[in-house]
Amino acid sequence: MNYSIKIGGEAGQGVQTVGETLCQIFAASGLHVFSHQDYESRIRGGHNFYQIRISEDSVMCPKEKVDILLAFDYESVRLHTPELSEIGQILYDSQILKTKISDSRSIDVPFLKIARETGGPDIASNIAAIGAVCGILGVKREILLGVVTNIFAKKGFETVAKNVEAAQAGYDYAIKACIMCPFRLPEPRPRKILISGNEAIALGALVSGLKFYSGYPMTPSTGILNYVAEHSLTFGCIVEQAEDEIAAINMVIGASFAGVRSMTATSGGGFALMVEGLSLAGMTETPLVIVLAQRPGPATGLPTKTEAADLLFALFAGHGEFSRIIFAPGTPLEAFYLTNKAFHLSEKYQVPVIILSDQYLADSQWTFDSLDLESLRYMDMRLRGASFENQKGYKRHLFTDTGVSPLGVPGDARHLVVTDSDEHDEEGHITEDRELRKRMVEKRLFKKLTLIRREIDEPTVYGDVGADIAVLCWGSTYGVVKEAIDRILKDFPISMVHFKEMYPLPYEGHWLEFLKKKRILINVEQNATSQFAKLLRMETGLAVHRNINRFDGRPFGVEDLVERIYAHIE
Amino acid sequence: MLTLNDFKGKTPAWCPGCGNYAILKAFNSAMVELGIEPHMVVIVSGIGQAGKFPHYTRCNTFNGLHGRTLPVATGIKLANHSLVVFAVAGDGDCYGEGGNHLIHAIRRNPNIKLMVHNNQVYGLTKGQASPTTSQGVLTKAQPYGTLSEPLNPVALAIALDASFVARGFAGLPDDLKELIKEAVKHRGFSFLDILQPCVTFNRVNTYSWYKERVYKIELSHPVHDRIKAFEKALEWGDRIPVGIFYRKEKPTLEEKIPVLKNEPLVRQKFDFEMAKSLVRKIKNVD
């Protein structure tokens, strides 16, 4: 069982809401779900779609063929009918589309009429549509109604009743209209955890002790701001919307200096403004987590599309030389754990950590069987209260063997916490002394980076490890490359190596030897210039043999990727 | 007992005769008289001669970037509102590079004390025009004279309905000390523009130029009247008023944040196990 559902329509028609609700229903049915969206940079109109893939097995990328097309406008029919699979069906309402579709694979369900008859507003036609999709798929009725009830529970009994009725009517109508539909779902299983990349990062931050968040809204990072804000009271976290990204990062640095775990999130243009502050965090050794949700650039680029072309920007951002850590999770689950690791390392080494995400990861929803909360870490590494007061001769930037100085919380002791964006002495006061300058650079850069490298995990290796061909990838291409490898493995020995901890790279041990032995290294990147290949060569001297790039703002599809990998191995 | 010695910092590297010395002395005396201990104060500063201020006194210090004083100070205040947070900036720092942040800091009204060392010139970069330089003033960077009109920071602050607006003068150090004390006592954002002659680069606005013009705002001035305050703020020329222009009671940013109802953020213990169980609940994890 492996179906895909595409919901198409104009912005403002509720495409995203319908998609998210269906994802919840499938997750509640115990199915594996992967969803991604394609939307335009406008509030109303245009063409948007939300695509969901469901399976009994884990899924992490879209497939190109569509089994159910739910069309809210004629444009969706026109654009996506060619994508229909052999068993594909189009669900639509001729009243909403203002036309009847002659294609024999289409089912006309009166969503709008149902909404009006059940006494709901016209938008309740979306609920009827959700019901219809569930009907032809054979989703258990009580699961559909349970999710619909939950969604409207806050709005009172009457709203719940109307929407439940609309969902049922859509469900029943579709079953009758589609007697020949071949779709079958397995018996319900324990519910799965459904989570998007943005949610995973926000939740990962909150469970790591995030107390202060400041940001400026920017697609596709805004979901993080919204999610943290939504849960801020529950977790005891302050969320402040800043006047610009410069203010956001400086507020976060201030809050972190004053003793709380802090984070900001943005996208390319916003990160460009934050670069000055990033350098400040490096100089003042202030812990800080920055999420850089990439989008295609330069400048404003394609605001709502996907690309991963800020790796080298993140690596070189900031004037001067200082330690930093860069992560690029491949799935929401990795995003959750890596955010926790980001907070841990940021505070342990007093360095900025940048988490690279992209629109594809940020807005996609995945399902997982479990979330291993026991593997999370939380250690308060700041000097507070009595343990701070009892320090003798406290100096904020004290030279130590590790390069890590005591991070005192100002006001908790009679000691003073002093830091400076100018070069400073151990106490934190301005200096131009040659020897001090040299030692401070060594402390901030070499000593810390050496220790940090020991904390970095090796890349994930998958597939036929003995094969003489390996595909390299990083960040959110994990899922699609993995599925491509699975398909190729049926006829051809191949392996993949996925990097999620990008900088510093792990110690050149096993993984580098593994790569060096391969006859062909094929590097897959969602950008034009193979930035990771450059980083790898710069850090290790290892050159890849082939590059596969996609930079049209759309994610790789499995079928397309398989073909392109084959082109390099045959 | 606190003494001035408790606030003794590094030896200043300011020019002899610089107006900053008077501000430093007024600040230290105000702290001693208010009985505020150095470790309960954080001074945030930017870049410029004013930016070096915290090194010459003795408090917790974050000497950050040019223009970014107020966002850092806001972050500190929100993280720990039990600290007395000062933001110290120059006119270029606060009204030029940091202009946007000033507007929004006033809108937020955190309980931060802002002192702007206003010498109407860029001193550290050797004499270019600042946002408060008079029109027509010649500099190396403005060879045809400064073309833009000078900013009126006091009028700007009143227009934004800042909760405390005052102007001090380095030539009246005792009055300046009292103004700093009033600014600290005020609950909310305190804006203090300090006229501070630059003896090296500003040949126009000298001590004697100011002494001829500066006068103290009359006791009868209605500080709660915004229109009257605005009128007073427009006086600049033959007569320059110093003192408190405007004062308004309103809730501070910290008071409006529900998370801060009981205690400062930094004192709120993070319960890791509790957070994990919340995640379990939110994400339906068994």
User: What pLDDT was estimated at residue A428?
Assistant: 98
In the predicted structure, residue A179 carries a pLDDT above the cut 90:
no
B282 reaches A (C-beta below 8 A): yes
Collect all residues of chain A within an 8 Å Cβ-Cβ radius of residue B279.
203, 206-207, 371, 373
User: What pLDDT was estimated at residue B207?
Assistant: 92
Which whole number is the average pLDDT over A45-61? 93
Q: In what order do the strands lie in the sheet with A261-266?
A: A238-241, A210-215, A261-266, A288-294, A352-358, A325-327, A501-503
Mutate to test the interface with A, among B61, B103, B160 (most CBs of A within 10 A): B61
In the predicted structure, residue A570 carries a pLDDT above the cut 90:
no
Nearest to A250 among B52, B72, B260 (CB): B72
- To the nearest 10 degrees (0 to 180), the angle between helices A125-137 and A157-177 is 50
Lowest mean pLDDT among A262-271, A363-372, A426-435: A363-372
* One-character DSSP codes across B204-243: SS-HHHHHHHEEEPPTT--TT-HHHHHHHHT--SS-EEEE
CB contact under 8 A, B276 and A420: no
C-alpha B285: how far from chain center: 49
For residues B67 and B101, is the Cβ–Cβ distance under 8 A? Answer: yes
- Closest residue of chain A to B256, computed from CA coordinates: A238
> pLDDT tens digits, residue range B75-116?
999 999 999 999 999 999 999 999 999 999 999 999 999 999
The confidence band for A314, taking pLDDT boundaries of 50, 70 and 90, is: very high
For residue A142, what are the contacts with CB-CB under 8 A and spacing of at least 6?
A: none
In the predicted structure, residue A119 carries a pLDDT above the cut 90:
no
User: What pLDDT was estimated at residue B204?
Assistant: 87
Mutate to test the interface with B, among A260, A344, A407 (most CBs of B within 10 A): A260
Which whole number is the average pLDDT over A348-368? 96
Per-residue pLDDT of chain B (286 residues; tens, 9 = 90+): 899 999 999 999 999 999 999 999 999 999 999 999 999 999 999 999 999 999 999 999 999 999 999 999 999 999 999 999 999 999 999 999 999 999 999 999 999 999 999 999 999 899 999 999 999 999 999 999 999 999 999 999 999 999 999 999 999 999 999 999 999 999 999 999 999 999 899 888 899 999 999 999 999 999 999 999 999 999 999 999 999 999 999 999 999 999 999 999 999 999 999 999 999 999 888 6
Other beta carbons within 10 Å of B81: 23
In the predicted structure, residue A465 carries a pLDDT above the cut 80:
yes
CB contact under 8 A, B75 and A428: no
Q: In what order do the strands lie in the sheet with A418-420?
A: A418-420, B60-63, B41-45, B84-90, B112-118, B190-195, B164-169, B240-247, B214-216
The confidence band for A180, taking pLDDT boundaries of 50, 70 and 90, is: confident
The torsion of the CA quartet B206, B212, B214, B220, rounded to 10 degrees, works out to 180
Collect all residues of chain A within an 8 Å Cβ-Cβ radius of residue B103.
243
Collect all residues of chain B within an 8 Å Cβ-Cβ radius of residue A261.
270
B61 reaches A (C-beta below 8 A): yes
d(CA A267, CA A32): 29
Burial call A107-117: b when 16+ CB within 10 Å, e when fewer: bbbbbbbbbbe
In the predicted structure, residue A4 carries a pLDDT above the cut 80:
yes
User: What pLDDT was estimated at residue A48?
Assistant: 93
CB contact under 8 A, B266 and A232: no
CB contact under 8 A, B65 and A370: no
CB contact under 8 A, A252 and B75: yes
In the predicted structure, residue A330 carries a pLDDT above the cut 90:
yes
CB contact under 8 A, B83 and A260: no
Q: Note the pTM of the prediction, 2 decimals.
A: 0.96
Mutate to test the interface with B, among A29, A196, A257, A279 (most CBs of B within 10 A): A257
User: What pLDDT was estimated at residue A202?
Assistant: 98
> pLDDT tens digits, residue range A375-399?
999 999 999 999 999 999 999 999 9
B30 reaches A (C-beta below 8 A): no
- Closest residue of chain A to B105, computed from CA coordinates: A243
Other beta carbons within 10 Å of B147: 9
Go through chain A and tell me how many residues it has.
570
Which whole number is the average pLDDT over A11-28? 95
User: What pLDDT was estimated at residue B203?
Assistant: 86
Please report which residue ranges of B109-249 form alpha helices under DSSP H. 153-159, 173-185, 207-213, 226-233
Query: Over pLDDT 90: what percentage of chain A?
Result: 93
- Closest residue of chain B to A196, computed from CA coordinates: B283
For residues A84 and A48, is the Cβ–Cβ distance under 8 A? Answer: no
> pLDDT tens digits, residue range A248-274?
999 999 999 999 999 999 999 999 999
CA distance A238 to chain B (A): 7
Identity of the amino acid at B91: D
Nearest to B65 among A280, A410, A417 (CB): A280
- Closest residue of chain B to A283, computed from CA coordinates: B64
CB contact under 8 A, B284 and A193: yes
The confidence band for A41, taking pLDDT boundaries of 50, 70 and 90, is: confident
d(CA A52, CA A478): 18
> pLDDT tens digits, residue range A470-488?
999 999 999 999 999 999 9
> pLDDT tens digits, residue range A184-240?
999 999 999 999 999 999 999 999 999 999 999 999 999 999 999 999 999 999 999
For residues A251 and B71, is the Cβ–Cβ distance under 8 A? Answer: yes
CB contact under 8 A, A211 and B10: no
Query: Over pLDDT 70: what percentage of chain A?
Result: 100
State both tokens at A125: 């036609």
In this prediction, the answer to ipTM > 0.85 reads yes
B268 reaches A (C-beta below 8 A): yes
d(CA A434, CA A424): 11
* One-character DSSP codes across A191-206: PPEEEEHHHHHHHHHH
Based on the number of CB atoms within 10 Å of its own CB, is A187 exposed (0-12), middle (13-18) or buried (19 or more)?
exposed
For residues B129 and B137, is the Cβ–Cβ distance under 8 A? Answer: yes
Nearest to A260 among B58, B64, B265 (CB): B265
> Could you check whether the bond before residue A182 is cis, i.e. omega within 30 degrees of 0?
no
d(CA A542, CA A517): 11
User: What pLDDT was estimated at residue B285?
Assistant: 81
Collect all residues of chain B within an 8 Å Cβ-Cβ radius of residue A244.
100
In the predicted structure, residue A354 carries a pLDDT above the cut 80:
yes
Which whole number is the average pLDDT over A100-126? 93
For residues A213 and A264, is the Cβ–Cβ distance under 8 A? Answer: yes
CB contact under 8 A, B278 and A419: no
The confidence band for A508, taking pLDDT boundaries of 50, 70 and 90, is: confident
Nearest to B38 among A207, A231, A416 (CB): A416
For residues A518 and A24, is the Cβ–Cβ distance under 8 A? Answer: no
Collect all residues of chain B within an 8 Å Cβ-Cβ radius of residue A234.
278
User: What pLDDT was estimated at residue A279?
Assistant: 98
In the predicted structure, residue A373 carries a pLDDT above the cut 80:
yes
Nearest Cα neighbor of B63 from A282, A249, A280 is: A280
User: What pLDDT was estimated at residue A387?
Assistant: 96
Please report which residue ranges of A138-190 form alpha helices under DSSP H. 141-152, 157-177
d(CA A424, CA A213): 28
Collect all residues of chain B within an 8 Å Cβ-Cβ radius of residue A231.
278, 282
Cα radius of gyration rounded to whole Å, chain A: 26
For residues A124 and A163, is the Cβ–Cβ distance under 8 A? Answer: yes
User: What pLDDT was estimated at residue B140?
Assistant: 92
CB contact under 8 A, B283 and A211: no
